Amino acid sequence: MGSRLEDITDIRQKTPGCDEKIHFNNAGAALVSEETLRTQVDYLEQESLIGGYEVAAKYAQRIDQFYDNVAELINANRDEIAFTESATVAWLRVFWAINFQSGDEILCDSTSYASNYIAFLNAQKRFGIRIVLIDQKPTGELSLEDLTGKLSSKSKLISITHMPTNSGLVNPAQEVGKIAEKYNVLYQLDACQSVGQYPIDVRKIGCDFLSATGRKYLRGPRGTGFLFAKKIRFSELSPLNLDLHSAEWISKDTIDIREDARRFETWECNLAAKLGLSTAVSQAVNLGMETIWERVQLLADYLRKELSRIEEVIVTDIGEIKSGIVTFYSNTISTHQLKERFLEHNINTVVAIKSGTRVDMENRSLDSILRASVHYYNTKEEIDKFINLLTQFVKP
């Protein structure tokens, strides 16, 4: 793909939403492809005609392919993958399976997503764990020296964000993996914004658990996500959500828990959406994650460069390497107003509020910022239009 225009034109033609809008809310929910849409609609139609169980049996092999596709995307084994309805559900199922004891420490980064930090606070109240924040380097990444310095016999879990929701930051996931391995501490990675945007190799990263959503950079359907969980860690976990799919009731008083990561699933799920995500994942694999990442960076760098030329605009991204998530504010017009003005011109952006990533936002004295997140199917022309409008909007 690179930035060759004919490929992008083709991809855009196969993405119905590209006709309607300038979509710069890919970190919220990216546009699904025609193929991903059709996969779901066809399946739903079949459900209505044949019956839900009957069509599931007919499609069993294709549904099962989901695990192979995701495994290929992140270089895992298929039995290390679970399908969930969101990244948060994937993350929580593993988090609450950890046998926390009073005094245990969770090391997390300052850009932690609200839902994750809420779980830390919940665990603090329920089990008396301690939340240990890893310092940031001046450039924004979590400090590996500080992480190493804060590890102790009390450290139970390192739980960090790969790419936060509110800036272009990329945390050094692989370096954290080396530390986690050396000190033998559980390592949970929130890869919600990086999967589908950035090449992910769980073997290289060395994480024990990784969670992702379908609807963001993977361009999958809403209400989908997945979990990667390393089997070697299963003996240290007690899943809380066991049902007749994740476990078997083998005698009146005994159960057997599944041997694979699907012990974190539950039986019922949206199979049309699962197939849709499977389609989206294989599209990402076919395009190539290196190629996608290169194109996303190219567009995001261009957008940031153009933004930095507008006097009334302050770009708020941090990090040495920056992702497709671009954030800024203006002193002349509120972020909410900006979002509305863009919407009037068929341009989708989103406001990132303080309570979404409170620690980082407070550290940087930010209240609310506008997030324009680009994907490979966006174009420089779209960015130019965006910049032209913004220049008008921010004029005092």
Least distance (Å) between residue 235 CB and ligand PLP:
27
Least distance (Å) between residue 389 CB and ligand PLP:
26
Any contact of residue 327 with ligand PLP (CB under 6 A)?
A: no
Which range in 63-71, 85-93, 341-349, 362-370 contacts ligand PLP by CB under 6 A?
A: 85-93
Q: Which is nearer to ligand PLP, 26 or 193 (CB)?
A: 193
Q: How far apart are the first and last CA of the chain?
A: 41
- Between CA 71 and CA 203 the distance in angstroms is 11
Helix (H, G, I), strand (E, B) or coil at 325: strand
Any contact of residue 165 with ligand PLP (CB under 6 A)?
A: yes
Any contact of residue 192 with ligand PLP (CB under 6 A)?
A: yes
Q: Which is nearer to ligand PLP, 321 or 387 (CB)?
A: 321
Which range in 97-105, 159-167, 195-203, 366-374 contacts ligand PLP by CB under 6 A?
A: 159-167
Least distance (Å) between residue 380 CB and ligand PLP:
25
Least distance (Å) between residue 325 CB and ligand PLP:
9
| DSSP assignments along 51-97, one per residue | -HHHHHHHTHHHHHHHHHHHHHHHT--GGGEEEESSHHHHHHHHHTT
Among 36, 39, 40, 88, binds ligand PLP (CB under 6 A): 88
Among 87, 97, 151, 205, binds ligand PLP (CB under 6 A): 87
CB contact at 8 A, 20 and 345:
no
Site string for ligand PLP, 216-235 (x = CB under 6 A): ---------x----------
Q: Which is nearer to ligand PLP, 85 or 260 (CB)?
A: 85
User: Which ranges of the chain does DSSP label H, i.e. alpha helix?
Assistant: 5-13, 17-20, 34-50, 52-58, 60-74, 87-95, 114-127, 144-150, 173-183, 202-205, 271-287, 289-308, 335-344, 358-363, 380-393
Among 24, 83, 117, 164, binds ligand PLP (CB under 6 A): 164
Q: Enter the tokens of residue 358.
A: 């409170």
Q: List the Cα angle 316/320/322 in 5-degree steps.
A: 60
Cα-based distances in Å from 27 to 17, 250, 253, 285: 15, 44, 46, 19
Q: Enter the tokens of residue 29.
A: 């929910």
Footprint of ligand PLP on 116-155 (CB under 6 A): none
Among 105, 109, 141, 190, binds ligand PLP (CB under 6 A): 190
| Alpha-carbon dihedral 89, 203, 130, 241, rounded to 10 degrees | 30
Among 110, 171, 193, 278, binds ligand PLP (CB under 6 A): 193
**Residues at the interface with ligand PLP (CB under 6 A):** 86-88, 113, 115, 161, 164-165, 190, 192-193, 213, 225
